[in-house]
Amino acid sequence: MKEVINIYKKHKVTVDGYINTLIKSLPKDYIDYADSILKSNNYIQLMYAVDENFKQISPVICRKNRDDSNIQSDKSHYFAKLDLDANNMYVSNPYIHYRTGQSSLSSVIFIDNKYYIFDINLIKLLENLNLIEYNSLHDKINKSIYGIGATILSLVSVALIVYGGYKFLSLLFVPNDMEFLEDIFKSIISITLGLAIYDFAKQIFEHEVLFTSFHHTEDKQYKVLGKFLISVVIALSIETLMVVFKIALEDYTQMLAAFYLIIGTTIMFVGLSYFYKTIRESGCDEEG
């Protein structure tokens, strides 16, 4: 909803002008031609008429049905802040439509002592004007695939966290001095990786399933990738520390291998730091 409104605000003059031009170009007997109007303009959700005393005088005409239950009902509360322009037209601010649950606009035109109201699906209108790219079927398929993938990743993360907890509890109740250090590090690594994968799955679910964007900013993708890489590097650092301690306690001849492992982990830290530095420098400060 927020992104849709931001796009609308950016192109408000163009969108409002298009709506006004469209409505003025329609047959003036709006209610009589309602079916053909709705058929040829898929972004118009419904329409109805109100008299000069703000009493509804026509059914609410939707694409598939007509609702006449509110005929003669008082609509004055909807017109309390109505401010018609020089062409006797008005376009509302965006809102969530009570029937469809979609981001919508309402347009009003006053002709022959009657108000004609058109409720417009904002997403479909912006798509029609090529201001956003949105395909409902494609969006549903993407959400389903991302949802399944994120759920599986979450289950994997839970399994890792449970395994890490199991190894830790085993050390408490069945102590093993010979393998204590190795097992405690295994527990830490397992839990760390589990949290990293869970955080990655949560980011996918939030950004691609619950709050999918109409335009994917690079900043959002970098944040998801960056948080995952940080968790992975932390896990690798712990693994490196475990290997160094193990070599130091058991076999000094392998210390050179441990040194190379530390160098490799350090290079990953430097690479990750450069990654963040590059992102910050390539970003555009709105106030600059």
Task: Look at residues 86, 111, 128 and tell me which one is the last residue of a structural domain.
Answer: 128
What is the per-residue DSSP string for 29-55?
-TTTTHHHHHHH-TTEEEEEEEETTSB
Task: Look at residues 128, 160, 192 and tell me which one is the last residue of a structural domain.
Answer: 128
In a domain, 73, yes or no: yes
pLDDT at 286 over 60: no
In a domain, 95, yes or no: yes
In a domain, 48, yes or no: yes
The pair of structure tokens assigned to 287 is 């106030």
pLDDT of residue 31: 92
Highest-pLDDT range among 2-16, 196-210, 230-244: 2-16
The band of 285, judged by pLDDT with boundaries at 50, 70 and 90, is: very low
In this structure, the answer to whether residues 66 and 26 fall within a common structural domain is: yes
In this structure, the answer to whether residues 198 and 101 fall within a common structural domain is: no
In this structure, the answer to whether residues 107 and 25 fall within a common structural domain is: yes
CA angle 34, 35, 37 (to 5 degrees): 65
pLDDT of residue 281: 57
Domain that holds residue 149: 136-282
The band of 206, judged by pLDDT with boundaries at 50, 70 and 90, is: confident
In a domain, 174, yes or no: yes
Tell me the pTM: 0.52
Of 252 and 88, which is predicted with more confidence?
Answer: 88
pLDDT tens readout for residues 58-114:
999 998 889 888 899 999 888 888 889 988 999 999 988 887 778 899 999 999 899
In this structure, the answer to whether residues 207 and 247 fall within a common structural domain is: yes
In this structure, the answer to whether residues 242 and 260 fall within a common structural domain is: yes
Contacts 24+ apart (CB under 8 A), 153-157: 153/197, 153/198, 153/200, 153/201, 153/204, 154/198, 154/201, 154/202, 154/205, 156/194, 156/197, 157/193, 157/194, 157/195, 157/196, 157/197, 157/198, 157/201
The band of 219, judged by pLDDT with boundaries at 50, 70 and 90, is: low
Asked whether the beta carbons of 50 and 57 are under 8 A apart, the reply is: yes
In this structure, the answer to whether residues 229 and 96 fall within a common structural domain is: no
In this structure, the answer to whether residues 19 and 82 fall within a common structural domain is: yes
In this structure, the answer to whether residues 122 and 196 fall within a common structural domain is: no
In this structure, the answer to whether residues 36 and 96 fall within a common structural domain is: yes
pLDDT tens readout for residues 112-134:
899 999 999 998 898 888 887 65
In a domain, 287, yes or no: no
In this structure, the answer to whether residues 156 and 225 fall within a common structural domain is: yes
In this structure, the answer to whether residues 210 and 241 fall within a common structural domain is: yes
pLDDT at 217 over 60: no
In a domain, 288, yes or no: no
Which of 152, 153, 243, 139 has the alpha carbon at shortest distance from 198? 153
Q: How far is CA 164 from the centre of its chain?
A: 32
Task: Look at residues 104, 128, 152 and tell me which one is the last residue of a structural domain.
Answer: 128
pLDDT of residue 162: 93
In this structure, the answer to whether residues 228 and 273 fall within a common structural domain is: yes
Asked whether the beta carbons of 130 and 15 are under 8 A apart, the reply is: no
pLDDT of residue 17: 92
Domain CATH number, residue 20:
3.30.450.20
pLDDT of residue 16: 92
φ, ψ at 50 (rounded to 5°) = -135, 140
Q: How many folded domains does the chain comprise?
A: 2
